Amino acid sequence: MTTTTPARPSAPPAVRRRQPGASRRQAAPWGFLAPAIVLFVLFLALPIAYAVYLSFRTEKVSGLGLGSGSRTEVWNGFANYAASLADPEFLASVGRVGLYGVIVVPTMLGLALLFALLLDSRRSRATKFSRIAIFLPYAVPAVISSLLWGFLYLPGVSPFYYVFERLGWDVPSLFSSNLVIFAVANIAVWGGVGFNMVVIYTSLRAIPSELYEAAELDGCTQVGMAWRIKIPIVIPSIIMTFVFSMIATLQVFAEPTTLKPLSNTISSTWTPLMKVYRDAFIRGDLYSAAATSVIIALATFVLSFGFLRLVQSRAFGQEK
Partner 1 sequence: MTTDAAETALVAETAGDRPGPVARGGRPARRAPRTGHRSAGERPSGTATAILLVGALYCLLPVLWVVVASTKSGSELFSTFTFAPSTHFVENVSDLNAYRGGLFWRWMANTALYAGVGAMLSVVVSAMAGYALAKYRFRGKSAVFNMLLAGVLVPGVVLAIPQYLLLAQIGLTNTYWAVLLPSIISPYGIYLARIYAGASIPDEIVEAARTDGASELRTFAQVAMPMMAPGLVTVFLFQFVAIWNNFMLPYIMLGDDKLFPLTVGLSGLLNQGASQPALYTLVITGALLSIVPLVALFLLLQRYWQVDLAAGAVKA
| Contacts to partner 1 from residues 102-121, by CB under 8 A | 111, 114-115, 118-119, 121
Nearer Cβ to partner 1 (64/319)? 319
Size of the chain, expressed as the number of residues it contains: 320
In the DSSP assignment, the letter for residue 9 is T
Q: Give, as ranges, the residues between 142 and 161 that touch partner 1 (CB under 8 A).
A: 142-145, 147-152, 156-159
Q: Give, as ranges, the residues between 18 and 37 that touch partner 1 (CB under 8 A).
A: 18, 21, 24-26, 28-33, 35-37
Nearer Cβ to partner 1 (64/122)? 122
Residue 56 interacting with partner 1 (CB under 8 A): no
Helix (H, G, I), strand (E, B) or coil at 73: strand
CB of 172 to partner 1, least distance (A): 19
Residue 11 interacting with partner 1 (CB under 8 A): no
Residue 225 interacting with partner 1 (CB under 8 A): no
Size of the site for partner 1 (CB under 8 A): 121
Nearest to 301 by CA among 258, 247, 233, 251: 247
Q: What share of the chain is helix, strand, coil (3-state, %, to 5)?
A: 75, 5, 20
Spatial CB neighbours of 267, under 8 Å, sequence gap ≥ 6? none
The half-sphere exposure of 56 on its side-chain side, counting CA atoms within 13 A, is 7
Distance CA 97, CA 93 (A): 6
**193, 108 contact by CB (below 8 A):** yes
Q: Give, as ranges, the residues between 79 and 98 that touch partner 1 (CB under 8 A).
A: none
- DSSP strands (E only) in the chain: 57-61, 71-75
Nearer Cβ to partner 1 (181/199)? 199
64 to 70, 71, 245, 283: CA distances (angstroms): 8, 10, 48, 19
Residue 78 interacting with partner 1 (CB under 8 A): no
Nearer Cβ to partner 1 (92/140)? 140
Q: Give, as ranges, the residues between 200 and 219 that touch partner 1 (CB under 8 A).
A: 202-209
Q: Give, as ranges, the residues between 169 and 198 that touch partner 1 (CB under 8 A).
A: 190, 193-194, 198
Residue 273 interacting with partner 1 (CB under 8 A): yes
